Structure 1
Amino acid sequence: MHALHQILLFHVLTCLGRNAHGSVIIHGKKAPENSMLYMASVQNSSKHHVCGGFLIRENFVLTAAHCDDEKPTSVVLGTHDLTKADDSMRYSITKFKYPHYENVSNGNDLMLLKLCRSIGLNDRVQQIPLPKDEKNMTENVECSVAGWGYTETSTFRTVDELRVVTVSIINQDVCKKTWVGLPAKVICAGGYKTKKGFCQGDSGGPLVCGGEAVGVVSFNHKSNCNYPHFPNIYMDISKYLVWINKTLEENS
């Protein structure tokens, strides 16, 4: 039975991995202009938004590994409104995918993007700190997730302005019972008996708790943005600090 569950989960999450792009926030609000200045729009060669990301160093953005499916070529930083993006806000990238990433169902869904030039931090662009060591998140702690894109399941229309929503951490044991075959090193937050969270997309965006980026948006359940039963899943950044710090040091 366990093997069958793994196979079923693989097929579900593989579909999500292909389609979970576009930074989708459900039942959120527009982010204030002076907030979340670390948010990055990961874009393809047509300058279309395909994933979220966030600035963790002056020349590095963290996002999800499965975002590479959309062949991103640049990131945009410094605006909440993507219609106002210009070439001065665009940075070409070099990609460093977590070496043990295979697919969404197996976890390890992280990717670092090195920018072609360092950013001068200012009143439009700031970086966000990561956890300093490994931690386990406490149930019911309120956090936030943000992105650009669809605002409900049926519209399939992205939005130009950054949106943000508050979500709560879900007990890990509850999450494991809900998601049979849940990969390791994840955080569960939002969805699951609420109407708030990310939908098809928001991939690569940060789960922010207490001013730190603690998670990276990875997957949810199929294309259902009403969240009747399933928690949203994030990669737990604190469990990947050794790789992140080593990659930053070796490529800075």
Structure 2
Amino acid sequence: MMHPLRKCLPVYLLICLGLHHALGSEIIHGQKVPENQMLYMASLQNDAGKHVCGGFLIREDFVLTAAHCAKWSPTSVVLGTHNLRKVDNNAMRIRVDTCKHPSYTNISSGHDIMLLKLSKKAKLGKKVQLVQLPKSGFKIKNNAKCRVAGWGYTKTAGNSVDELQATDVKIVNQKTCKKEWKIGKVKLPANIICAGGFKTTNGFCKGDSGGPLVCGGAAAGVVSFSGRRCGDPRSPDVYTRVSSFRGWIRNVMRRN
């Protein structure tokens, strides 16, 4: 039986080392996303209409995001706009119910993935589209170029922005990723992808949580957590590997 202190140790280390999930921020060294691209992006918002996390539309009635975003009680998603100052509540805002992965307890334990069931189907068209999910066993080559997007700060302790930003990041070898995080005495969970934030300042920051890591046109990862500071080149950014959860995603959507 695992000792309670040892069981909680990864969380303690995350706190002590200043590691954080990406609430309240934006892409580092990003650029504005053209209005005709990444039309699957969703802004998770609370009852006050404030952006708390990112997400992405995978079926007309389901958005995929990070489980730790549930902490900030998202009650709706905004679809169909990259500019959060231009939200038509009647047309773009849809109420949601949350469905966290049953094995999720905290970011250090893994399973940082959650589905949001929309109260009504999103209308697909020129402003709203679905993103493809990778198949089970999907593999990405080391150094492959992917893209991450979100709303929020452009630097640690910076200011948030309202227009969707994106930046290119490269996949980091798993052994290298584990080695770099091990220096900080953090054991990475299973079923993750590392990209950006290592030997580069490109990556995500607070508030980009739940957004997609898009590789080859598919949403291969979900933004989970990063290091002490946004854009810190010493530790790779960590994403939940979507292909490892295809069965769970399929089962939840089938039941609903």
Q: Report deviation, 1:135.
A: 2.1
Q: Report deviation, 1:8.
A: 5.3
- Name the counterpart of 1:13: 14
Look up the SS of the partner of 1:10 in the other structure.
Answer: helix
Cα distance in 1 for residues equivalent to 2:14 and 2:230: 15
- Name the counterpart of 1:153: 156
1:98 and 2:101 are equivalent in the alignment: yes
Q: Report deviation, 1:218.
A: 0.1
Report the aligned-residue RMSD. Answer: 1.7
- Name the counterpart of 1:227: 232
Higher alpha-carbon deviation: 224-233 or 70-79? 224-233
Look up the SS of the partner of 1:83 in the other structure.
Answer: coil
Superposition TM-score, scaled by structure 1 size = 0.93
Deviation digits for residues 230-249 of structure 1 (CA, Å, limit 9, x no counterpart): 00000000001110000011
8 Å Cα contact 1:43/1:72 also seen in 2: yes
Deviation digits for residues 172-206 of structure 1 (CA, Å, limit 9, x no counterpart): 00001112311000000000110100012310000
- Name the counterpart of 1:176: 178
Q: Report deviation, 1:11.
A: 2.2
Look up the SS of the partner of 1:235 in the other structure.
Answer: strand
* Shift in CA distance, 74/11, structure 1 to aligned 2, threshold 3 Å: same
Letter in 2 for 1:115: L
Name which of 54, 69, 72 aligns with 1:70: 72
Structure 1 runs of 4+ with >4 Å offset: 3-8, 14-17
Look up the SS of the partner of 2:196 in the other structure.
Answer: strand
Q: Report deviation, 1:29.
A: 0.4
Look up the SS of the partner of 1:53 in the other structure.
Answer: strand
1:129 and 2:132 are equivalent in the alignment: yes
Alignment of 1:1-252 (within 5 A): 9-13=10-14, 20-87=22-89, 88-155=91-158, 157-180=159-182, 181-222=187-228, 224-251=229-256
Cα distance in 2 for residues equivalent to 1:105 and 1:190: 19
Cα distance in 1 for residues equivalent to 2:191 and 2:207: 20
Cα distance in 1 for residues equivalent to 2:244 and 2:255: 19
Cα distance in 2 for residues equivalent to 1:95 and 1:120: 20
Superposition TM-score, scaled by structure 2 size = 0.92
Cα distance in 2 for residues equivalent to 1:227 and 1:219: 12
Cα distance in 2 for residues equivalent to 1:33 and 1:117: 24
Q: Report deviation, 1:7.
A: 5.5
Q: Report deviation, 1:153.
A: 1.2
* Shift in CA distance, 37/23, structure 1 to aligned 2, threshold 3 Å: farther
Letter in 1 for 2:96: I
Cα distance in 2 for residues equivalent to 1:200 and 1:73: 19
Cα distance in 2 for residues equivalent to 1:7 and 1:137: 32
Cα distance in 1 for residues equivalent to 2:42 and 2:128: 10
Cα distance in 1 for residues equivalent to 2:25 and 2:64: 14
Q: Report deviation, 1:120.
A: 1.5
Higher alpha-carbon deviation: 174-183 or 138-147? 174-183
Query: Identity over aligned residues, as a percent?
Result: 54
* Shift in CA distance, 34/129, structure 1 to aligned 2, threshold 3 Å: same
* Structure 2: gaps (5+ residues): none
The size of the alignment, in residue pairs, is 246
